[in-house]
Copies of this chain bind each other. A is one copy, B any other.
Amino acid sequence: MFLLNGEHRHCVDVSDRGFQYGDGLFETVEVLQGKPLFFDRHLIRLAEGCRRLRIPMPDTALLDREARQLCESSERAVLKLMVTRGSGGRGYRQPEQIVPTRLFSLHPYPDYPLQFQTDGIAARFCEQRLSLNPSLAGIKHMNRLEQILARAEWQDDSIQEGLMLDTQDRVVEGTMSNLFIVKSGSLYTPPLGQCGVAGIVRQLVMEFAQRIKLPLFEQAIDQTAVLHADELFVSNSVIGIWPIKRLEAQVFNVGVITRRLQDLLNTARMAEV
């Protein structure tokens, strides 16, 4: 199911700069009981991305209306929203009047085994690095070749996620998720000022930590620190929180802090429906 600029179409003009250059942004939203969860937060992040890329943000009331229209009959699904700079301009030069393209698409919720959440997943370190570029850091833009190359490194279905380092050997995030570690009762997550995507669930987890007075540090983390963590987990809007039970040869328990944060996230999700 698709809504392309308000119409039920799923074919975009090849001149769209989203196709030509990845000139745009996207949001991936969990849909539960007909509601797009945390949609206001997703729109705020989209607005920040539009500000950074200087793409005029489509009207939020319109986005809200179209989202809810698409989602209302879905018990569980994934809603994707893409906003591009539209067509026009010459080469990389943008058009003087930007008419953004907006596309909503609804997808089946992936059939992940429940064990991923309860027992944890297996992960690996990727060879492909995240390059450093403050202009593009944090926002969910459409230039995703680094993630594609990283994900292409393994076909083994027993590994669910790959952790990516930046070009200065700092562990940053997963190919499709953010990363947290717990050490000696404190929570750590890498800063995303030079690369990475600032996830909605990451934001929620950081707020939960403050709420429950769990010491939280946004600081650079290296591979050694990750492998010596007491607990570690990845997060995104579709998976929620997945504990990591194995990373390369290292095994981890699903710890109490991870469980607490999963509970807080589930409570927050239920409050949205």
Contact = CB atoms under 8 A, between A and B. Distances in A.
Nearest to A84: B19
B92 A144 contact: yes
A145 B53 contact: yes
A217 interface: no
A138 to B, nearest CB: 13
Contacts of A144: 20-23, 92, 143
| Number of copies of this protein chain within its complex | 2
A127 to B, nearest CB: 9
A181 B15 CA distance: 34
A151 interface: yes
In the complex, which of the residues A16, A54, A135 has the most CB atoms of chain B within 10 Å of its own CB atom?
Answer: A135
Interface in A135-152: 135-136, 141-152
A200 B129 CA distance: 27
Contacts of A143: 21-22, 143-145
Interface of A: 2, 4, 10-23, 26, 53-54, 82, 85, 90-94, 103, 105, 110, 128-129, 131-133, 135-136, 141-152, 167, 175-176
15 contacts: A4-B14, A10-B13, A12-B14, A14-B105, A19-B19, A20-B26, A21-B22, A21-B142, A21-B145, A23-B145, A91-B176, A92-B148, A92-B151, A136-B149, A142-B145
